[in-house]
């Protein structure tokens, strides 16, 4: 059956997976969406004339149908466009529970050709106006229970345009995960991931790559599926719905872990600008975050064929080695030297990659760069106590006229000089680098790096422990003062990495949990605050209320805003990991399971009613973020594996 327009098509699949179709007709006059896709284009007179004829013909058709076909299964919800080959909306639930926040798909940004559509149950075929239905369709979209099939045929009379997916990231930061070619395209097979929803594994016959673009800081990511050509007359794409996460016994039938299973890949956002992993698909790439991506990648099953998550870690490191200047590196604009956590992050990512991939060839080729990062990091120890230093003092009031950002990821708080978080990362990095040195045949370096790690450990606890509070401070400034605001993640990472004597670790966690109760923080579905008391203005970098900088000396009026005590899943992993390491499963679960419920609802992505994003919130849930999606929020999913280990140890 041919028609110039195509109706609302509802396809449901029964228990056997066979399609059951329902049709809904809608009388239409002039089609108000007829010019969608033409905005901001200066069309030639010929194209305008052709479109005018098509509009007039359709306007006279009193039986004209709605402009999309809706196809729904347990796993896929698709609105197939009838104005052009492609989608107007798309959702996927890898768990098959019909969790479908519809992602808006904008029209492709090129002049649309007149299209006639033919429907065959769950399949839509596209041909040019006047092309016989006996001829192969230039595009076919077919929806099955757990897969989407796209097929393109070439003919001289009806050459196909590309099929373009332009996803609105306000709803979901749709990302294409894979290896990037020299022209910016992503090689196949690849992963098309909808954060908080699910995942398609994309493979193809007779096509090797997909286009992958966006404008920097825009809210649309464009993925282009090339059509068939004269020299490649048939192209077939298969989108298979998959659920990719580590195997944990019992969770597939436990709805409490739905967020873990849907969101495990959320931390991987391949940036269209840098072609590295980053904050989100259209955002910045931060070198001091790479170890988080690598730790998750090391636990991730194969993505597609031979493609692994660790391949994207290697790709990201290769970009840095080739000269990409990521945030946290000198010359980026915000930093005049490496942030104190940047070199450790790079080294941990490298160690994760080599250990997981067994790629000794990559290690041999890049050992010199890894050694350079390590030696430059160690050279910052100006006091000779084994602790790495940052070039800015971290003294109170020193941030009134700063020369650069503070020393680590928490870059609105005045960390400087000897940074407890960065030194914990450095300790882990040195241990990993010692292993890599031995593996690469550099025995002298192996001995030296292992000794450096032990020297750092010997100084760590006595340098950062604050007897006044009974917990670790965030940093010791150049004037010898401790700066302690009950940083949960600082204490958590130190315990998790073995830098706190075992007999002191439980006491520290007791004090932190008691302080949390005292200040009234109980909304664990929001994540955790980075600090439990306000960071005073004298120690705060960003002295604007929007970023947590209040007007009071104690900064109480800026408290709970952004990094000044705002609630987030970012870095909450370390508190959870410390609790599970100590066998405190009940304490960990009281935090973890409300967070998992939020992951399942998608509550760390998107924007609130105030147009601030959900990655940071005040303790009452008011949104205070700006990224839309911040990948660091999903590192905490690693705690599910720590919990599993704690449960095994308890048996």
610-622 residue pLDDT tens:
999 999 999 999 9
What does the DSSP 8-state code read for residue 556? G
Confidence band of 317 (pLDDT split at 50, 70, 90): very high
Angle at Cα 378 formed by Cα 374 and Cα 382, nearest 5°? 160
The first and second tokens of residue 340, run together, are 């104190």
Query: Measured between alpha carbons, how far is 614 from 612 in angstroms, rounded to an integer?
Result: 7
Query: Measured between alpha carbons, how far is 519 from 569 in angstroms, rounded to an integer?
Result: 19
Least confident of 41-55, 152-166, 495-509, 531-545: 41-55
* Residues 181-190 pLDDT 10s: 989 999 999 9
Query: Measured between alpha carbons, how far is 95 from 412 in angstroms, rounded to an integer?
Result: 39
Q: What percent of the chain has pLDDT over 90?
A: 83
pLDDT score at 10: 33
The answer, yes or no, to whether residue 27 has pLDDT greater than 60, is: no
Asked if 209 and 186 touch (Cβ cutoff 8 Å), the reply is yes
- If you average pLDDT over every residue of the chain, what do you get? 90
pLDDT score at 112: 83
Nearest to 35, CA basis, from 48, 18, 20: 48
pLDDT score at 216: 64
Answer whether CATH 2.70.98 is correct for domain 2-242. yes
Q: What percent of the chain has pLDDT over 70?
A: 90
Angle at Cα 575 formed by Cα 435 and Cα 456, nearest 5°? 40
The answer, yes or no, to whether residue 55 has pLDDT greater than 50, is: no
pLDDT score at 217: 65
Query: Measured between alpha carbons, how far is 323 from 346 in angstroms, rounded to an integer?
Result: 14
Rg over alpha carbons for the chain, rounded to the nearest Å, is 27
Query: Measured between alpha carbons, how far is 153 from 136 in angstroms, rounded to an integer?
Result: 6
The first and second tokens of residue 388, run together, are 């790495």
pLDDT score at 218: 76
* Residues 524-564 pLDDT 10s: 999 999 999 999 999 999 999 999 999 999 999 999 999 99
The answer, yes or no, to whether residue 215 has pLDDT greater than 90, is: no
pLDDT score at 219: 85
The first and second tokens of residue 352, run together, are 């994760």
pLDDT score at 37: 35
151: enclosing H helix or E strand: strand 147-153
Least confident of 27-31, 136-140, 166-170: 27-31
The answer, yes or no, to whether residue 48 has pLDDT greater than 80, is: no
Average pLDDT over residues 555-582: 98
pLDDT score at 32: 30
Alpha carbon of 509 to those of 99, 245, 491, 502, 525: distances in Å? 37, 30, 8, 11, 20
Asked if 154 and 128 touch (Cβ cutoff 8 Å), the reply is no
Long-range contacts made by residues 493-496, C-beta under 8 angstroms, separation at least 24?
493/421, 493/424, 493/425, 493/574, 493/578, 494/420, 494/424, 494/460, 494/461, 494/464, 495/578, 495/581, 495/582, 496/574, 496/577, 496/578, 496/581
**Beta pairing partners, 214:** 221
Asked if 277 and 293 touch (Cβ cutoff 8 Å), the reply is yes
Nearest to 83, CA basis, from 56, 103, 54, 104: 54
What does the DSSP 8-state code read for residue 289? G
The answer, yes or no, to whether residue 114 has pLDDT greater than 50, is: yes
The predicted model scores a pTM of 0.90
Domain residue ranges in the chain = 2-242, 486-530+566-651
pLDDT score at 66: 52
Long-range contacts made by residues 545-550, C-beta under 8 angstroms, separation at least 24?
547/412, 548/412, 549/412
Least confident of 85-94, 115-124, 530-539: 115-124
Nearest to 195, CA basis, from 310, 80, 94, 307: 94
More confident call, 64 vs 260: 260
**Contacts with 502 (C-beta within 8 Å, 6 or more apart), sequence order:** none
The first and second tokens of residue 358, run together, are 């067994």
pLDDT score at 111: 84
The first and second tokens of residue 341, run together, are 């956590």
Q: Decide: residue 126, CB within 10 A, 0-12 exposed, 13-18 middle, 19+ buried.
A: buried
The answer, yes or no, to whether residue 403 has pLDDT greater than 60, is: yes
Asked if 569 and 602 touch (Cβ cutoff 8 Å), the reply is no
Average pLDDT over residues 150-160: 96
Torsion of CA 215, 629, 610, 527, to 10 degrees: -170
Average pLDDT over residues 482-490: 98
**Beta pairing partners, 613:** 607, 625
Asked if 417 and 489 touch (Cβ cutoff 8 Å), the reply is no
More confident call, 290 vs 53: 290
Nearest to 259, CA basis, from 615, 524, 600, 641: 600
Alpha carbon of 303 to those of 199, 201, 207: distances in Å? 10, 8, 19
* Residues 591-646 pLDDT 10s: 999 999 999 999 999 999 999 999 999 999 999 999 999 999 999 999 999 999 99
Nearest to 202, CA basis, from 174, 255, 241, 160: 241
Average pLDDT over residues 484-492: 98
Task: Annotate 158-191 with b (16+ C-beta within 10 A) or e (fewer).
Answer: bbbbbbbbbbbbebbbbbbbbbbeeeebbebbbb
Asked if 459 and 385 touch (Cβ cutoff 8 Å), the reply is yes
**Cis status, amide bond into 189, omega within 30 of 0:** yes
Would you put residue 226 in left (φ > 0), alpha (ψ -120 to 50) or beta?
A: beta
pLDDT score at 394: 97
Which residue in this structure is represented by tokens 């994309």?
202
Average pLDDT over residues 3-32: 30
């Amino acid at each position: 059956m041919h028609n110039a327009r195509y109706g609302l098509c509802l396809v449901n699949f029964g228990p056997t997976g066979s399609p059951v179709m329902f049709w809904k007709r809608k009388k239409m006059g002039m089609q108000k969406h007829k010019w969608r896709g033409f905005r901001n284009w200066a069309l030639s007179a010929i194209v305008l004339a052709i479109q005018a004829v098509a509009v007039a013909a359709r306007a006279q058709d009193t039986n004209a149908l709605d402009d999309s076909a809706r196809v729904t299964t347990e796993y896929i919800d698709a609105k197939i466009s009838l104005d052009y080959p492609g989608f107007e909306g798309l959702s996927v639930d890898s768990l098959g529970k019909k969790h479908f926040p519809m992602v808006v798909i904008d029209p492709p940004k090129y002049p649309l050709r007149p299209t006639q559509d033919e429907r065959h149950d769950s399949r839509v075929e596209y041909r040019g106006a006047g092309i016989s239905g006996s001829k192969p369709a230039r595009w076919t979209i077919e929806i099955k229970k757990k897969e989407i099939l796209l097929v393109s045929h070439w003919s001289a009379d009806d050459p196909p345009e590309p099929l373009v997916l332009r996803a609105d990231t306000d709803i979901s930061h749709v990302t294409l995960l894979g290896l990037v070619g020299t022209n910016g395209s992503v090689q196949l097979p690849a992963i098309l991931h909808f954060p908080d929803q699910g995942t398609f594994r994309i493979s193809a016959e007779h096509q090797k790559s997909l286009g992958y673009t966006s404008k920097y800081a825009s809210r649309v990511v464009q993925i282009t599926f090339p059509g068939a050509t004269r020299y490649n007359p048939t192209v077939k794409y298969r989108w298979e719905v998959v659920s990719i996460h580590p195997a944990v016994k019992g969770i597939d039938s436990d709805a409490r872990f739905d967020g873990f299973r849907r969101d495990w890949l959320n931390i991987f956002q391949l940036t269209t600008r840098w072609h590295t992993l980053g904050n989100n698909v259209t955002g910045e790439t931060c070198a001091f975050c790479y170890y988080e991506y690598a730790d998750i990648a090391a636990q991730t099953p194969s993505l597609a064929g031979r493609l692994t998550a660790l391949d994207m870690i290697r790709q990201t490191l290769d970009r840095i080695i080739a000269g990409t200047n990521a945030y946290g590196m000198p010359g980026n604009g915000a930093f005049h030297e490496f942030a104190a956590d940047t070199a450790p992050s790079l080294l941990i990512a490298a160690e994760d990659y080599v250990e997981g991939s067994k790629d000794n060839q990559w290690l041999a080729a890049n050992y010199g760069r890894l050694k350079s990062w390590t030696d430059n990091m160690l050279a910052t120890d100006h006091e000779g106590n084994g602790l790495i230093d940052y070039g800015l003092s971290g003294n109170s009031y020193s941030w009134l006229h700063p020369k650069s950002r503070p020393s680590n990821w928490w870059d609105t708080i005045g960390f400087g000089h000897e940074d407890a978080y960065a030194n914990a990362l450095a300790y882990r990095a040195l241990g990993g680098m010692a292993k890599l040195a031995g593996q690469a045949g550099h025995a002298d370096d192996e001995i030296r790096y292992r000794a450096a790690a032990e020297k750092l450990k010997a100084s760590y606890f006595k340098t950062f422990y604050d007897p006044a509070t009974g917990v670790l401070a965030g940093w010791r400034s150049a004037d010898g003062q401790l700066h302690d605001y009950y940083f949960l993640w600082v204490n958590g990472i130190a315990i998790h990495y073995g830098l706190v004597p075992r007999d002191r670790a439980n006491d520290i966690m007791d004090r932190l949990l008691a302080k949390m109760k005292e200040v009234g923080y109980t909304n664990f579905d929001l994540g955790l605050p980075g600090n439990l008391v306000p960071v005073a203005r004298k120690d705060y970098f960003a002295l604007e209320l929007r970023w947590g900088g209040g007007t009071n000396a104690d900064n109480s009026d800026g408290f709970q805003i952004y990094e000044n005590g705002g609630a987030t899943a970012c870095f909450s992993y370390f508190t959870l990991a410390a609790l599970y390491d100590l066998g405190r499963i009940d304490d960990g679960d009281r935090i973890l399971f409300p967070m998992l419920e939020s992951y399942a609802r998608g509550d760390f992505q998107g924007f609130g009613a105030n147009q601030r994003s959900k990655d940071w919130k005040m303790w009452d849930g008011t949104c205070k973020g700006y990224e839309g999606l911040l990948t660091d929020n999903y590192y905490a999913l690693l705690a599910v594996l720590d919990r599993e280990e704690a449960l095994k140890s308890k048996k």
